[in-house]
Amino acid sequence: MDQLARSLEMARTLSQRPFAAGVTEAGSAPMYDLIELMFFAYRDFVGDADHVLAALGFGRAHHRVLHFVSRTPGLTIAELLDILKITKQSLNRVLKELLDQDYVEARRGTLDRRHRQLFPTPRGKALALDVALLQSKRFATVFAALPDGAQAQAIAFLLAMVDESGRDKIASMTGVNEAAAGPGPRR
């Protein structure tokens, strides 16, 4: 039995177990299985990118900035800060390194010259694409082993995990809409 089949079997077993001991004030037990699976899935998903980025002296913060700048050329620093939910101070070092090493360039704003817009350089586009293809390979492998409709269910699940107040903005930014998300929890 391959690793993915073992993982699927373990998931079926875990989903049939009663919640672990420890009841919350609301009367429900913590969903440790989902909490831990989300942690391990994220760890391994970003781990693929970590190896490529580490060879260049970059980390996860660099990846996040490069990803969103590459996906939305012309993004302002204020928009990037809003997407990442970080402070300008925490962005400064990472952005400076990406600028200094020619992965990102900053230009004066076209509408407001006081704002700086960020653009990926050809080198930045290439790195962002390499990492996105690497992470997409993991998704493709998983969805190939799951039943039809699993990708739409995954999209619906992840979108539902986003705070409701920001869900429409995230759906629009990522290109996900109600029809593409398929069946699942809705507002």
Give the pLDDT confidence score for residue 28 in this predicted structure. 85
Give the pLDDT confidence score for residue 120 in this predicted structure. 98
Cβ(130)–Cβ(154) under 8 Å? no
CA distance 106 to 187: 38
CA distance 178 to 185: 11
Give the pLDDT confidence score for residue 17 in this predicted structure. 57
Does residue 79 or residue 111 have the better pLDDT?
A: 79
The residues spanned by each domain of the chain are 28-145, 147-187
Predicted confidence band at 187 (pLDDT cuts at 50, 70, 90)? very low
pLDDT in tens, 125-170: 999 999 999 999 999 999 999 999 999 999 999 999 999 999 999 9
Q: What is the 3-state secondary structure (H, E, C) of 63-127?
A: HHHHHHHHHCCCEEHHHHHHHHCCCHHHHHHHHHHHHHCCCEEEEECCCCCCCEEEEECHHHHHH
Give the pLDDT confidence score for residue 112 in this predicted structure. 78
Give the pLDDT confidence score for residue 186 in this predicted structure. 39
Give the pLDDT confidence score for residue 15 in this predicted structure. 56
Give the pLDDT confidence score for residue 177 in this predicted structure. 73
Is 60 exceeded by the pLDDT of residue 108?
A: yes
Give the pLDDT confidence score for residue 13 in this predicted structure. 63
CATH number assigned to the domain with residue range 28-145, chosen from the 4 options 3.30.70.2740, 3.20.20.450, 3.40.50.300, 1.10.10.10: 1.10.10.10
Is 60 exceeded by the pLDDT of residue 85?
A: yes
pLDDT in tens, 13-51: 655 555 545 555 666 889 999 999 999 999 999 998 999
Is 50 exceeded by the pLDDT of residue 182?
A: no
Give the pLDDT confidence score for residue 165 in this predicted structure. 92
Give the pLDDT confidence score for residue 11 in this predicted structure. 60
Helix axes 60-71, 32-54, angle to 10 degrees: 80
